[in-house]
């Protein structure tokens, strides 16, 4: 600015040019700073590309990361299974997976929630690994299941969240991402949600750490396992729900037919020709439907009678004061043999125990009533027998204690009703006999709800019909079903006696092929394959001759009788107690895992 005062000095032209250049430079620098675009971060997988891409489908940013997390979680499961799910090894694998997941989700949208999920899973893993023995049995099995599969579940949840993030950002998903999304959601709905709501939860026994994978797999994939046991799958519930709403078929009938179809398909060998297989499939389905109409379960020749109230029960019980942690290397571990014996049976309980750690097994000494012996005779009604197990060598580490009790000389009975008629009987009389005398379970043999069920049938044809034609050959057969629950096993039949038939004048027809000892006999060694609950294997079969008074029935005469059978058998019950921790003071200052 030029001074107006008189005598002010005029600036030189050279100075004026220098000042103009200086102010022009400042304006240029300010303009460049204002127009400079904001610098992008070095790595932003969710930024929309500024350059045009090729027309070929690409992997959306971040989806590949979630796929990598799924692979890592599966790899962690494989390592855990190979490691035997030991506490230290499991937590180490979980910690590595947690760090990997935490770093991965840090570069994704809405990462705060995802990081909280990762931290929550890591905290759960620490609690599940180190405090599993404090949970009740029913809760412990679910904790084991989540412990085994939780990282895979978290990876799938994060993948679904990533799918929604990508769709919200306007990105296109490739075909494999859509396929994986549909597969994950479909599995959750069909194999978890529907079976859980409709069928409930199956219980498992206590298992050691090395058996965690089996526990979790059976729990999570219980429907797949039930296919072989002929229960309904998730798809059955969906199909039958729509069938019921459309009034084409009743809901319960639809479910039963689905089970029958699966049962028969499982029974027929897949190597047979398609035509022959379809024929046998149809015959099997017709037979199973006929048995259901008669009140029988498919493949089972007997059932439990709820009318029998005097039932013998024996159990190995663990109380709340059982020593799960100790520094005593050879401590006594007490349980109780609980007996309810309303019929005052006389039998023997032989008890044994073993400590298991991975592949190592250490036998124990049994003490009954404080004395070193392993057998006790049961004869009273109700009793609680104190039993203790002491390891034969010093323990150090984490073990599963397995108690076994073999009940020798157990006795049970069953009964069966039959009506004897001539083939000349008219249809009305036949129908009236069945209506008056055979309702539901009365068509098959029945017994008490104990450990083993003696099933038998006899009559015309296969012996399943309640009306026996006295003019036709009479067949007889029996089987033994294990109904003692999970963990038990029928070891052998000591003796069997179908005294109702023998005293009633029935005898074995020696002119026809069959077992000569099918009505009365001694020892039969059994296995779980022979005594499975749904379809126990036939043990003996023969033809019978009827007593003279029954053979003489004519026209509409009939006779209704009930026959009783008895069986003496041996049964084994097992009780597993996991997570017994032993840390001798001379070995370590704290409990060894």
Q: Where are the domains of the chain?
A: 63-211, 313-404+578-582, 409-575
pLDDT at 61 over 50: no
Architecture of the domain whose range is 313-404+578-582: Sandwich (2.60)
Q: Where is average pLDDT lowest: 103-112, 165-174, 440-449?
A: 165-174
User: What is the average per-residue pLDDT within 264-278?
Assistant: 55
User: What is the average per-residue pLDDT within 381-410?
Assistant: 93
Predicted local distance difference test score (pLDDT) of residue 70 = 82
Q: What is the DSSP letter of 175?
A: H
Burial class (CB in 10 A: 0-12, 13-18, 19+), 42: exposed
pTM of the model: 0.53
In this structure, how many other beta carbons lie within 10 angstroms of the beta carbon of residue 36? 8
Over residues 459-479, the pLDDT tens digits come to 998 888 899 999 999 999 999
Quote the Cα angle for 460-466-469, to 5°. 40
Over residues 525-556, the pLDDT tens digits come to 988 888 887 678 889 999 999 999 898 888 88
Q: Using 50, 70 and 90 to split pLDDT, how confident is the model at 262?
A: low
Q: What are phi and psi of 86, to 5 degrees?
A: -65, 150
Contact predicate 549/506, CB 8 Å: no
Residue 93 to residue 115: CA distance in whole angstroms? 18
**What residues form DSSP beta bridges with 356?**
361, 400
Residue 543 to residue 514: CA distance in whole angstroms? 7
């Amino acid at each position: 600015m030029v001074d107006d005062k008189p005598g002010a000095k005029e600036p030189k032209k050279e100075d004026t040019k220098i000042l103009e250049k200086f102010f022009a430079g400042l304006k240029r620098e300010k303009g460049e700073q204002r127009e400079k675009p904001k610098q992008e971060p070095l790595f932003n997988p969710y930024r929309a590309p500024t350059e045009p891409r090729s027309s070929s489908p690409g992997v959306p940013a971040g989806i590949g990361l979630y796929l990598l997390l799924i692979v890592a979680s599966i790899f962690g499961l494989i390592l855990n299974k190979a490691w035997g799910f030991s506490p230290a090894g499991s937590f180490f694998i979980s910690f590595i997976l947690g760090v990997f997941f935490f770093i991965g989700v840090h570069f994704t949208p809405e990462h705060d929630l995802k990081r909280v999920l990762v931290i929550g899973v890591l905290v759960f893993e620490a609690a599940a690994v180190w405090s599993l023995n404090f949970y009740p049995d029913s809760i412990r099995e679910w904790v084991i299941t989540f412990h085994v599969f939780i990282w895979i579940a978290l990876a799938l949840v994060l993948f679904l969240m990533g799918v929604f993030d990508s769709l919200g950002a306007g990105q296109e998903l490739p075909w494999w991402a859509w396929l994986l999304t549909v597969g994950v959601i479909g599995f959750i709905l069909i194999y978890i949600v529907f079976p859980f709501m409709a069928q409930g939860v199956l219980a498992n026994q206590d298992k050691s750490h090395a058996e965690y994978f089996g526990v979790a797999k059976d729990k999570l994939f219980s429907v797949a396992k039930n296919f072989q046991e002929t229960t309904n799958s998730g798809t059955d519930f969906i199909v039958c729900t729509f069938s019921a709403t459309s009034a084409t078929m009743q809901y319960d009938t639809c479910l039963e037919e689905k089970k029958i179809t699966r049962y028969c398909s499982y029974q027929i060998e897949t190597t047979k020709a398609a035509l022959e297989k379809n024929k046998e499939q149809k015959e099997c389905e017709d037979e199973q439907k006929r048995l259901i109409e008669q009140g029988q379960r498919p493949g089972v020749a007997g059932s439990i009678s709820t009318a029998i109230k005097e039932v013998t029960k024996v159990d190995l019980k663990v109380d709340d004061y059982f020593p799960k942690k100790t520094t005593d290397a050879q401590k006594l571990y007490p349980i109780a043999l609980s007996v309810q014996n309303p019929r005052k049976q006389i039998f023997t309980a032989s008890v044994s125990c073993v400590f298991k750690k991975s592949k190592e097994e250490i036998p124990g000494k049994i003490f009954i009533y404080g004395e070193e012996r392993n057998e006790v005779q049961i004869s009273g009604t109700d009793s609680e027998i104190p039993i203790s197990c002491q390891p034969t060598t010093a323990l150090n580490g984490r073990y599963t204690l397995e108690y076994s009790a073999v009940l020798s000389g157990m006795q049970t009975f069953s009964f069966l009703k039959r009506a004897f008629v001539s083939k000349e009987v008219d249809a009305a009389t036949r129908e009236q006999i069945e209506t008056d005398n055979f309702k539901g379970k009365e068509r098959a043999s029945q017994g008490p709800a104990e450990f083993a069920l003696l099933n038998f049938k006899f009559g015309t044809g296969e012996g399943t019909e309640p009306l026996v034609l006295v003019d036709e050959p009479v067949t007889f057969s029996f089987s033994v079903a294990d109904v003692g629950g999970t963990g038990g096993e029928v070891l052998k039949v000591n003796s069997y006696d179908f005294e109702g038939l023998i005293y009633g004048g029935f005898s074995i027809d020696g002119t026809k092929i069959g077992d000569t000892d099918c009505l009365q006999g001694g020892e039969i060694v059994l296995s779980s394959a022979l005594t499975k609950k749904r379809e126990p294997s036939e043990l003996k079969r023969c033809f019978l001759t009827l007593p003279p008074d029954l053979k003489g029935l004519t026209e509409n005469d009939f006779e209704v009788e009930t026959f009783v059978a008895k069986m003496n058998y041996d049964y084994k019950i097992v009780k597993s107690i996991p997570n017994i921790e032993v840390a001798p003071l001379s070995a370590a200052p704290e409990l060894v895992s």
